[in-house]
Amino acid sequence: MSENFALDAWALFALLQGEEPAASRVRDVIEDAQAGNARLFISIMNIGEIYYRVGKTKNAKEADSVLADLYLLPLEVLPATDETVLSAARIKMTHNISYADAFAAVTAQQKDATLLTGDPELVALKRVARIEKLHR
């Protein structure tokens, strides 16, 4: 039986920037997914967050390159359906987190997944979703 994991932008940035020990943990989970021993999920909203942040700090060409690399990973990208958007809005109503972080939490809920993150706002949501805290 495979484990389900959800990733947020924090986890993928740790991987992309080689921030240890978080990068190694994310890499291990990706390898497990490639071997069929885990499933990885991410919201399209969190993909968008990575895309705009790379584009803003670097440039659009680099953002396109990172996006292409992300789509090579064994990630199941979840769309922002009406149900997902409203679920994220409900979490945002009652918790002091970013809207994009609310989508990461909803992804973990919807897929009965453990959310890998080091984002302090998300780590505080242990009652909303299963969280595995990553460290830089």
Token representation of residue 32: 């497990």
Domains and CATH numbers, the chain: 3-133 (3.40.50.1010)
Compute φ and ψ for 8, nearest 5 degrees: -110, 180
What pLDDT score does 126 carry? 87
What pLDDT score does 90 carry? 97
The pTM score is 0.94
pLDDT in tens, 78-135: 999 999 999 999 999 999 999 999 999 999 999 999 999 999 999 999 889 999 999 9
**Calpha distance 13→22 (Å, rounded):** 10
What pLDDT score does 2 carry? 80
What pLDDT score does 69 carry? 96
CB 51, CB 67: distance < 8 Å: yes
Compute φ and ψ for 76, nearest 5 degrees: -95, 110
What pLDDT score does 127 carry? 87
What pLDDT score does 1 carry? 63
Long-range CB pairs of 93-102 (<8 Å, 24+ gap) are 95/121, 95/124, 95/125, 95/128, 96/121, 97/121, 97/122, 97/125, 99/45, 100/8, 100/9, 100/45, 100/46, 100/48, 100/49, 101/8
**Calpha distance 18→27 (Å, rounded):** 10
pLDDT in tens, 37-68: 999 999 999 999 999 999 999 999 999 999 99
